[in-house]
């Protein structure tokens, strides 16, 4: 994987990293309709303008999916839980051919169980390039007990790692990759040392919790959104609008119009 720092990148003294779905964007039934909460858009914009601070959005979505959802030129964007990065100015850092070959081999090994999952009424498999999301929100209550054995079989499949989200099982096709990997990779790319700088992370699911524990272990701050996970030492907020207000307070940013508005949840 390419560890080269993009040209003209200035080493920051402070790093803020945010998950997208359920953190900066309210959770929605159709992921294709997910958009930034207005207060979070204002927050990212204001943070990105602070001298000596880098702000990033880190998602399991592919980078091409994430880019149009975060149309802020100064914000770093991480796709595939940090396997792909796009820097201000458009420079991209990608994992390379070997990682792509391993990903494709793993995807082929899962074909049989994924075919059974797709045939199950109410279950859907979303291909996010570097991971697969198995959604089961639409499964009827009477059929729900039959979902668990399928998910257990998936979790016990060698060569992958599964993280639980809201009515979703997130399948990492490269098992060493998670949001903690993404944050650590970004620190290397930026030459950012969390031992001497300030780092913070905000997220809402199990993969985010792994990153939060790493950040907290480095003396940083963490925010959990929506009450779906608990992380000791993290501050809990109800939704994206509350997150924007809490981060503004923590970062010393003044209120801004949409940040003072109430929650807009799906």
pLDDT in tens, 48-70: 999 999 999 999 999 999 999 99
The predicted model scores a pTM of: 0.90
Which ranges in the chain are annotated with CATH 3.30.70.1020?
97-172
Mean pLDDT computed over every residue of the chain: 92
pLDDT in tens, 221-251: 999 999 999 999 999 999 999 999 999 999 9
Residue 63's contacts (CB-CB under 8 Å, 6 or more residues apart) are 77, 78, 79, 80, 84, 85, 86, 92
Tell how strand 235-237 and strand 92-93 pair up. unpaired
Q: Which residues of 109-136 are buried (b: 16+ CB within 10 A; e: fewer)?
A: ebeeebeebeeeeebebeebbbbbbbbb
Identify the CATH homologous superfamily for domain 97-172.
Answer: Trehalose-6-phosphate phosphatase related protein; domain 2 (3.30.70.1020)
- CA-to-CA distance for 172 and 170, rounded, in angstroms? 6
Which ranges in the chain are annotated with CATH 3.40.50.1000?
14-95+177-260
Identify the CATH homologous superfamily for domain 14-95+177-260.
Answer: HAD superfamily/HAD-like (3.40.50.1000)
Identify the band that residue 29 occupies on the pLDDT scale cut at 50, 70 and 90: confident
The reported pLDDT for the residue numbered 73 is 94
The reported pLDDT for the residue numbered 30 is 87
Q: Is the pLDDT of residue 9 over 90?
A: no
């Amino acid at each position: 994987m390419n560890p080269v720092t993009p040209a003209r990148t200035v080493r920051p003294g402070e790093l803020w990293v945010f998950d997208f779905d359920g953190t900066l964007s309210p959770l929605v039934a159709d992921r294709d309709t997910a958009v930034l909460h207005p207060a979070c858009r204002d927050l990212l914009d204001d943070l990105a303008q602070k001298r000596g601070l880098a702000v990033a959005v880190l998602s399991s979505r592919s980078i091409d999916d994430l880019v149009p959802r975060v149309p802020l030129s100064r914000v770093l964007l991480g796709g595939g839980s940090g396997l792909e990065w796009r820097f201000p100015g458009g420079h991209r850092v990608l994992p390379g051919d070997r990682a792509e070959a391993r990903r494709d081999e793993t995807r082929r090994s899962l074909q049989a169980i994924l075919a059974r999952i797709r045939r199950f009424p109410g279950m859907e498999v979303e291909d996010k390039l570097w991971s697969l999301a198995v959604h089961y929100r639409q499964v009827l209550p009477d059929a729900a007990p039959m979902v668990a054995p399928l998910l257990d079989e998936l979790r016990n499949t060698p060569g992958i790692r599964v993280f639980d989200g809201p009515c979703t099982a997130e399948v990492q096709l490269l098992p060493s990759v998670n949001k903690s990997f993404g944050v650590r990779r970004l620190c290397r790319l930026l030459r950012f040392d969390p031992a001497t700088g300030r780092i913070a992370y905000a997220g809402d699911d199990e993969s985010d919790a792994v990153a939060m524990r790493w950040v907290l272990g480095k003396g940083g701050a963490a925010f959990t959104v929506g009450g779906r996970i608990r992380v000791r030492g993290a501050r809990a907020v109800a939704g994206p609008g509350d997150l924007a207000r809490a981060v503004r307070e923590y970062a010393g940013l003044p209120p801004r119009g949409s940040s003072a508005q109430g929650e807009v949840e799906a």
